[in-house]
Structure formats: C-alpha cells, structure tokens
Amino acid sequence: MFEILKNKEVGPDIFYLVLKCDELSEQPKPGQFFNVKISRKLSTDPLLRRPFSVFDFDEDQNILELVYRKVGRGTEILSKYKAGEKLDVIGPLGNPFSTEKRSGLIHLVGGGMGIVPLHYLARTLEKGEKKVFLGAENSDELEFFTKRFKKMNVEIHRAAMTEKMEIKGSVLVLWMNYLDQEKPLFVYTCGPEKMLSAVEKECLKSSIQGQLSIERRMGCGIGVCLSCSCETTEGNKRSCVDGPVFTLGEVVLNA
C-alpha cells in the first residue's frame, strides 16, 4: 500500500498523483507502468487495476509521480482519493524504453497522455541533445507538462489542435516539419495508435531507429491472461510484459 501525498487537478481533467512507495522491489525504468487498484479494500468494484506510466520517480525518497486523465469510471473514482489515503499499487511492470547512451540527436514525440512516459524518459536521458514534441487538444492540457519539461535540458516544441501554439494542428505535423530539416538518431514516441503508426512510417521510410509505447486494454498487467496481445513480426506478444515498449516496425498497429 502506497500513501498518497498529492492528488490534484493540474489541467482540464488531468490529475497529478504523487505516491510515497517505500516497499518497491526495484527502481522503475522509463516506459514502465504501475497498476493501480481503484476500489477500496474488500470492495470488488471496480475490479480490474488501472495501468499508469511512470511520470517521474525520485529514487532517494521513493516518491513516484503519475499523471492521469479522468476518462471513465476508474479514473473518476481515483480522482476523489485524498492525500493521506492509501492505494494498492503494483509495479513497476513492463518492458522499459532502452536508455543506452547515444551520441546524437534524439526526438521524443508525445500525444495526449502519451506524453507521460516521455517525461521520465527525458529525465533519465539527462545528457545529450533532445527535442521533445508535445501535442494535445489545447494549451491548457500542455501547461503542466511544459512546466516540468522546462526544468530539464531539453528543447520543447508544442502543438495544439484547437489553438495556435508553435502550430495549430497535430504534433505529427509539427514533428514532420522538423524531420524535413534534421535526421534524429533515435525517436521515442507514445500516444494514440494512429499517431504512433504515422511516426513509425516516417521513421522507417528514413531509416531512423526508435521505440514506441502502446496502450492496449489490459486485464492483468503481468502476462497471465493474454488480454493485451498484439500482433508483431514475431507472432503475438503481450503488450504488458513484452511491451508496452516495442521497437519501431515490430508491432502491427491499428491505424
């Protein structure tokens, strides 16, 4: 059981959840996720856990940060929890981003809540030249993320669908503008599958290596139920334990 230190709205229906987690078996890596039980102890509804990516982690104090959007029943109930209450959380789970040192430009392309794991990733890739491309519906949704990305050594580019930031439109278009001028060494991406698919296509076309993180509906999060199977070049894989991070080109995406 992890104690809630903070659970507050930081954007339109976007919540920032900070947990004190002293009994972690291992330090989370970027791209991994935690699986949160939403119901109270002894209640069986909602039954399934909800997966959330690591937004940040402080290894000195064992403080885990998550960011989630209120989209349905589970996240709505979660948003009502107060500081001081405890949550039943398991993790870290899943296959992380590769964070080996690379000497060259790195792009991080995130859409919507897909931005979350890229934050911890960018923090971990501390050294080295990085550009992060953030997209959302409007600038309010990006405010909290921007504030946090500004604290680190990374160049930030932003697009919103309903108002002009660097451009008005999708982050994909914004990113492709840059791709016309420069060829990154490696691309990390997370967001809606349509976006992932487009990013992947561009990268493969230009022989740019990279990784994506996908969000398939999960049952267990620990590899036992096959709810999260995705088709890959090597047959079906489980996105919870074999993913959520995959190499570009590996997974058949629902575009």
Partner 1 sequence: MPEKNASEKFDLSIDLAGLKLKNPLITASGTCGNGKELDNYFDINKLGAFTLKGITVSPRKGNKSPRIAETPSGIINSIGLENPGIDQFIKKTIPEIAEYRLPFFCNISGYSEAEFLELAEKLCGRKEIAGVEVNLSCPNIEGGGLAFGTDPKTVYSITKKVRKIYDKLLIVKLTPNITDITEIAEAAESGGADCVSMINTISAMKIDIDKQKPLLGSLTGGLSGPAIRPAAVKMVYDTFKKINIPIIGIGGIRNGKDVIEFMLAGASAAGIGTINMIEADAALRIIGEIKDYLKKHNIKRLSSLIGKVHI
Q: Which is nearer to ligand FES, 6 or 216 (CB)?
A: 216
Give 117: exposed, middle or buried? Use CB within 10 Å, 0-12, 13-18, 19+. Answer: buried
Give me the amino acid identity at 11. Answer: G
Q: Which is nearer to ligand FES, 83 or 225 (CB)?
A: 225
The CB-of-9 to partner 1 minimum distance in angstroms stands at 21
Q: Which is nearer to ligand FES, 34 or 178 (CB)?
A: 34
Specify which residues 134 forms β-bridges with.
110, 158
Token duo for residue 188: 């990390």
Q: Which of residues 181-240 bind ligand FES (CB under 6 A)?
A: 218-221, 223-228, 238, 240
Asked if residues 124 and 223 have their Cβ atoms less than 8 Å apart, the reply is no
Q: Note the residues at the interface with ligand FAD (CB under 6 A).
A: 33, 48, 50-53, 67-69, 71-75, 113, 116, 215-218, 244
84 binds, among ligand FAD, ligand FMN, a second copy, none (CB under 5 to 8 A by kind): a second copy
Could you give the C-alpha distances from 151 to 53, 64, 65, 148, 211, in angstroms and in order? 20, 17, 15, 5, 24
Interaction of residue 73 with a second copy, rule CB under 8 A: yes
Pure H helices in the chain? 73-78, 115-124, 139-149, 171-181, 193-205
What is the pattern of x (binds a second copy, CB under 8 A) and - over residues 8-47? -------------------------------xxxxxxxx-
Choose the stretch contacting partner 1; rule: CB under 8 A; options: 5-13, 75-83, 176-184, 213-221: 213-221
Which residue in 128, 169, 223, 249 binds partner 1 (CB under 8 A)? 223
The answer for residues whose C-beta is within 8 angstroms of residue 64's C-beta and 6 or more apart is 2, 18, 19, 20, 21, 28, 34, 54, 56, 57, 58
Q: Which of 55, 54, 37 is nearest to 45 (CA)?
A: 37
Q: Which is nearer to partner 1, 48 or 185 (CB)?
A: 48
- The dihedrals phi and psi of 35, each to the nearest 5 degrees, come to -115, 115
Interaction of residue 115 with partner 1, rule CB under 8 A: no
List interacting residues with ligand FMN (CB under 6 A).
Answer: 219, 225
List interacting residues with ligand FES (CB under 6 A).
Answer: 218-221, 223-228, 238, 240
